[in-house]
Chains A and B, each alone.
Chain A
């Protein structure tokens, strides 16, 4: 059977090499091979968005691609969201708006929301709800999450 494949990627700005089996998803590679467990496995079939990462500038479900497909890709994950100076405004807004309870969906929501606000800092509630439709949360009822993203957008616009 096929052996391990050497994959070279950039994760959160750092060149990262890993060895994986071709059958392993990017999510498995991130969590079990690289040891970055911030991205979560919810459904493992593309419905819940808990595994959302940014791949070459687009958000994707890391459970729906193979690790080997990430060869040469630039990936950013939840681990790259906060800076050395502190939390990202979206993370801060999630805390202040109590936009999480169990927290499993939170990394996916934050990575997805960051991608939206970086491209569309003026995104309104309808746009935010549409953009985040691929992220499921069973605790909050979404309202607090949407308010947190609106709040973060306001703070990011203010600089």
Chain B
């Protein structure tokens, strides 16, 4: 790796002023599991890494009636080891406990997953279906971006030079709601999704009818995809195999995959259909308190 400078500010304002001073020559450092590999491989070239692990706003994991405020530098293991968070957001835990290895989960962060903007980022689909918002601070103050709009292309995100992703705000789960994330990989662990799907459903009090649903896809397009038509197709319908099959079909239609070393276009469309149906069924059981 070529020489870089390293800064570890202890306040958000210091971090933003360093980021603003260096513009696109600075990059935030959280877990480092992507950025260090990219710098070493020459895939990114910057002058300054700004370590965000000493900034309080980026390291909070606060669960309240308003939802979950997830600091952008909080590593995955802290999320799944927090029993209250794990109980409230099992769909997020599906993904946080699945990324890389135990070693990777000791460092890697949801915020970093978003900023790295890999189409295959496992934590991004559940954050999207849960209605997560990216809270961004920069030289011009605060702004908020819906997480489905945060990734703008492979490795590209909505941050302007000088801006920092501070936290992801996830709303409190709706009554009778559930979320699940599944991915397909040819191995049991330690692989990158060929396709991944997160489903969030809200049911009525009877547990027999959908109030609303959101479905998001990984690894089947240049960015994670919110399959709006698939989710909307369920709203107001009775829970049935037919409704779930129709959502699977629509989710598969929303995918825009490529053929590469991990899978083909045809396989990925098929996987989205299957994973949508499976995650919907898990999400429904979770919404009903059955698992």
- Residue numbers in B under 8 Å from A5 (CB-CB): 6
CB distance from B97 to the nearest CB of A (A): 10
- B265 within 8 Å of A (CB atoms): no
**Separation in Å of the A144 CB from the closest CB of chain B?**
19
Cβ-neighbour of B101 out of A21, A23, A133 (below 8 A): A133
B100 and A46 within 8 A (CB):
yes
Interface residue B123 (Cβ < 8 Å from any Cβ of A): no
Interface residues on chain B, size class: 20 to 34
Q: Which of B30-38, B158-166, B176-184, B229-237 contacts A (4 or more CB under 8 A)?
A: B30-38
Question: Does B87 lie at the interface of the complex (its beta carbon under 8 Å from any beta carbon of A)?
Answer: no
Chain A residues with CB below 8 A from B104, complex form: 46, 61, 64, 134
Q: Which A residues from 20 to 74 make CB contacts under 8 A with B?
A: 21-23, 25, 44-47, 49, 52, 55, 58-61, 63-66, 68-69, 71
> Could you tell me the dominant secondary structure of chain B's interface residues?
loop
- Please tell me if A13 contacts chain B, counting CB pairs below 8 Å: no
- Neighbouring A residues of B101 by C-beta, 8 Å: 46, 49, 133-135
Is B22's CB within 8 Å of the partner chain A? no
Number of interface residues of A (CB under 8 A): 31
Q: Specify which chain B residues have a CB less than 8 angstroms from the CB of A63 in the assembled complex.
A: 36
Contacts of B189 in A (CB 8 A): 130, 133-134
Q: How far is the CB of A28 from chain B (nearest CB, A)?
A: 10
Q: Give the chain B neighbours of A65 by CB distance below 8 A.
A: 32, 36, 107
A158 at the interface (CB under 8 A from B): no
**B272 CB, nearest partner CB in chain A, Å:** 25
8 inter-chain pairs at a CB distance below 8 angstroms, sorted by A residue, are A2-B5, A22-B49, A45-B40, A46-B100, A60-B103, A61-B103, A66-B29, A71-B8
B: residues with CB less than 8 A from A are 1-6, 8, 29, 31-33, 36-37, 39-41, 49, 51, 53, 77, 100-104, 106-107, 188-190
Interface residues of A (CB under 8 A from B): 1-2, 5, 21-23, 25, 44-47, 49, 52, 55, 58-61, 63-66, 68-69, 71, 112, 130-131, 133-135
